[in-house]
């Protein structure tokens, strides 16, 4: 016969086993999306291509390329980033929207500008003011859009 102490011990073990079973994480199936505690879906960070140095051709597919340069060497204050888009025969084009995001990768989002559309000037150049607020490693992410859909993402790094 079982004593009351044995029954109590078995009951405690059964409750503990049930509690452990509830703590074991469920393995997600490939089609399931895990949501963070705040309720939004996890979004994969887009990939940005590291761009060559200023003035070099950067191709977007087979038929369009762009060049970029700053109006002056970036330092504390505002520098203007100029992007020019061309078709494959070298004629300047204005049919693509360009968005920029500037910031310091090492500072998280503390100095990020957020997405800022480039302004198109009369010459057909795309211009973006970049506000450099402290010395360190900076980057500008470029997003090129056709019909509001990204067709290319690039990244420029510079040090102040």
In terms of Cα–Cα distance, which of 55, 140, 64, 122 is closest to 96? Answer: 64
Residue 130 falls inside a structural domain: yes
What is the model's pLDDT at position 110? 73
Beta strands in the chain (DSSP E): 49-50, 58-60, 64-70, 77-87, 97-103, 116-117, 119-120, 126-132, 137-146, 149-159
CA distance 76 to 155: 20
Q: What is the pLDDT of residues 99-133, one digit of tens each?
A: 999 999 888 767 788 899 999 999 999 999 999 99
What is the model's pLDDT at position 160? 92
CA distance 79 to 72: 7
User: Which residues sit opposite 155 in a β-bridge?
Assistant: 50, 141
Residue 149 falls inside a structural domain: yes
Residue 41 falls inside a structural domain: no
Give the model's confidence band at 29: pLDDT under 50 very low, under 70 low, under 90 confident, else very high. Answer: very low
In terms of Cα–Cα distance, which of 111, 93, 110, 89 is closest to 102? Answer: 111
Q: What is the CATH number of the domain that holds 86?
A: 2.60.40.2480
In terms of Cα–Cα distance, which of 59, 61, 118, 64 is closest to 93? Answer: 64
Number of folded domains that form the chain? 1
Residue 63 falls inside a structural domain: yes
What is the model's pLDDT at position 112? 84
pTM for the full model?
0.71
> Poorest-confidence range of 44-53, 79-88, 104-113?
104-113
What is the model's pLDDT at position 36? 57
Choice between 74 and 44, residue whose per-residue pLDDT is larger: 74
Residue 44 vs residues 33, 41, 95, 101, 122: alpha-carbon distances, Å: 12, 10, 28, 17, 37
CA dihedral sign, ordered 40, 41, 42, 44: negative
What is the model's pLDDT at position 31? 44
What is the model's pLDDT at position 53? 92
Residue 99 falls inside a structural domain: yes
Residue 153 falls inside a structural domain: yes
Domain that holds residue 144: 49-159
Residue 141 falls inside a structural domain: yes
Tokens describing residue 131? 């506000």
């Amino acid at each position: 016969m079982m004593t009351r102490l044995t029954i109590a011990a078995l009951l405690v073990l059964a409750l503990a086993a049930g509690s452990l079973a509830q703590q074991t994480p469920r393995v997600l199936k490939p089609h399931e999306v895990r949501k963070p505690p705040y309720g939004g879906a996890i979004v994969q960070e887009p990939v940005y291509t590291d761009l060559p140095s200023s003035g070099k051709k950067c191709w977007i597919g087979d038929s369009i390329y762009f060049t970029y340069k700053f109006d002056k060497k970036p330092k504390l204050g505002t520098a203007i980033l100029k992007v020019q888009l061309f078709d494959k025969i070298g004629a300047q084009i204005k049919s693509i929207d360009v968005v920029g995001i500037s910031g310091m990768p090492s500072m998280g989002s503390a100095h990020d500008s957020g997405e800022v559309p480039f302004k198109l000037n009369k010459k057909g150049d795309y211009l973006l003011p970049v506000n450099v607020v402290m010395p360190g490693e900076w980057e500008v992410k470029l997003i090129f859009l056709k019909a509001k859909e990204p067709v290319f993402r690039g990244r420029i790094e510079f040090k102040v």
